[in-house]
Copies of this chain bind each other. A is one copy, B any other.
Amino acid sequence: METLNAAELLAALGHESRLSIFRLLVEAGPAGIFASAIGEQLGMAPATLSFHLAHLSRVGLIRGQKESRFIRYTAEFPTMDELIAFLTSNCCQGEACLPRASACDTTAKRRNLETNTNICKES
By a beta-carbon cutoff of 8 Å, the part of chain A in contact with chain B is 3-4, 6-16, 19-20, 22-23, 26, 75, 77, 80-81, 83-85, 87-100, 102-108, 111, 113, 115, 117-121
Contacts and interface: CB of A to CB of B under 8 A. Distances in A.
Given A7-B16, A14-B13, A93 B117 contact: no
Tally of this chain's copies: 2
A25 to B, nearest CB: 9
Contacts of A97: 99, 103-104, 107-108, 118-120
Contacts of A84: 84, 87-88, 92, 96, 99
Contacts of A115: 95
Closest 8 CB pairs of A and B: A11-B14, A10-B14, A81-B96, A77-B93, A14-B14, A97-B104, A88-B103, A97-B120
A68 B53 CA distance: 49
Which of A13, A77, A80 has its CB near the most chain B CB atoms (within 10 A)? A13
Contact of A10 (B13, B117, B120): B13
Nearest to A87: B84
Contacts of A19: 3, 6-7, 10
Nearest to A5: B16
